[in-house]
Structure 1
């Protein structure tokens, strides 16, 4: 095993459509598919079929659950049990992106619908989703079981207005030579379920066209990539966006988390100052349960996961890495119990 690991570490970066190790430094590497075969999934569609026939996977629980997996990765469970995952992350395959950015990796995670907002490595790890359905950049409306998803196609942020991440710095980190290049695209997702309207901003620019804003009114939960140093959105821009959407709750994301992000590898600060300066709740668990009733008195209230994520983090790189996998619900034909 040790010899295999050393051999794999010395191999050049994989090309599109190749098979590679899931992580160059994984103690127990797992072979996954990337590039044009990243959609190969190790599961069937029994849950999707069941949800199609019965409008869900169990009785209406009357609540929505949101779990945080670090970066911009969120797992949403609808009242009838449908599981949606947005923006799984991984270390870059291409050394041009600076090598290893994460000291941990996101575990293989079950979902029924996997969504990706844009094609950057910290948002598009399809291979880490055990998904029944995968969509990147989905534009338009999609309704299934007890969820409606609207995809609003726009562009990735290119000018952060941060004192740290200036246009010059961003052009080095994220070169945008042409607006037609795929990695400048971004899709804002609006997830409606259980009487809640949830917006996942992705890494969208701050000033999308007015027709997009018209579809982002009276939002219950806005998931925004806001950090104290403004790597994507500055606190000031997050406030403006939340106000324009009339959001009841803001959930920060895409910030530095000790045990996941490696210091000085593209990550700066968390969102502690942003959170504490506003009406807020610091969440003690990686999953929050929400109903429309629970949000009725909120106005741009910040719900902050901080360093709490829905899997075990590594304390430091020297700690032995394990091939941990998130808890996967048993996948069987639900109609057997109907």
Structure 2
């Protein structure tokens, strides 16, 4: 916990300093959710180990709350401490109170994307490659205090075949949190996928039980990700309890009375929590 607080504190300092910056920075961003340093063969790192009390006091002085609102189907609105608004799997008909700064899309079905978004949306990120179908698309984007990246996966076509790299898991790094949206995930992830993803504190997971992956396969994915907060989405057909039934007592379950949750690194549940929001 101390290490994660320290990492979050460093991330928040950079976010607070750069929240007013433009959408793109000339320097390539670095993910604080990927554990890439441990894979370097011959590097030595300086160690700084402040007390948790010091980190907590300094951490409390920085903007840290992220609000996530379930709009419907697989669309969430993510509002950052710096005032950036992001919509996931944006389809154009699930409306937000304001025009989002960023929208992400996946092309499995028309309920996950639109080819005619509001022109006022500055950053429209497709989870597939328009110019070279079948090849990976790569997004590495800084917008205000949010860093947005993706990990490509395959999708299943209506005919039952697989289309390479038609889906993206989008990852939003905000206020020290690593927030992942699995999109229209159709297959279990490989070790390479997990390495690209890194840590996910919060994960948005489809629980339809078959249009994406079956509940058993999806639950194995969630258990391996070890996220603190699991937000079910994309319920079509089977009730969400079929997904919940795949988890033992090491996971808490809560049915929320609202469509939104406000969370920070300090308020993440210590025991993994499956939070079912209103509208599911």
Matching residue within 62, 84, 87 for 2:86: 84
Show the counterpart of 2:159. Answer: 175
- After superposition, residues 45-64 of structure 1 pair within 5 angstroms as 51-52=20-21, 61-64=63-66
Q: Which runs of 5+ in 1 are unaligned?
A: 1-49, 91-104, 159-170, 256-266, 309-338
Show the counterpart of 2:52. Answer: none
Q: Deviations over 1:218-243 (max 9, x none)?
A: 3101111013x443233322221112
Q: Deviations over 1:308-337 (max 9, x none)?
A: 6xxxxxxxxxxxxxxxxxxxxxxxxxxxxx
Structure 2 Cα separation of the partners of residues 216 and 177 of structure 1: 25
Task: Provide the TM-score with structure 1 as the length reference.
Answer: 0.55
Structure 1 Cα separation of the partners of residues 85 and 255 of structure 2: 24
- C-alpha contact 2:84 2:143 (8 A) present in aligned 1: no
Show the counterpart of 1:303. Answer: 275
Show the counterpart of 1:113. Answer: 102
Q: Deviations over 1:169-207 (max 9, x none)?
A: xx6xx2255736xxx710111111011101100012332
**Structure 1 residues 73, 214: CA separation in 2 closer, same or farther (over 3 Å shift)?**
same
**Structure 1 residues 126, 78: CA separation in 2 closer, same or farther (over 3 Å shift)?**
farther
Matching residue within 286, 295, 298 for 2:259: 286
Show the counterpart of 1:332. Answer: none
Structure 1 runs of 4+ off > 6 angstroms? Answer: none
Q: Which runs of 5+ in 2 are unaligned?
A: 1-18, 25-60, 128-136
Q: Deviations over 1:55-79 (max 9, x none)?
A: 9xxx963200101111110110111
Give the root-mean-square deviation of aligned CA atoms.
2.9
Is residue 2:177 matched to residue 1:204?
Answer: no
Is residue 2:222 matched to residue 1:233?
Answer: no
Partner-residue secondary structure (3-state), 2:64 = coil
Q: Bigger radius of gyration, 1 or 2?
A: 1
Cα deviation for residue 284 of structure 1 reads: 1.2
Structure 2 Cα separation of the partners of residues 54 and 269 of structure 1: 40
Task: Provide the TM-score with structure 2 as the length reference.
Answer: 0.66
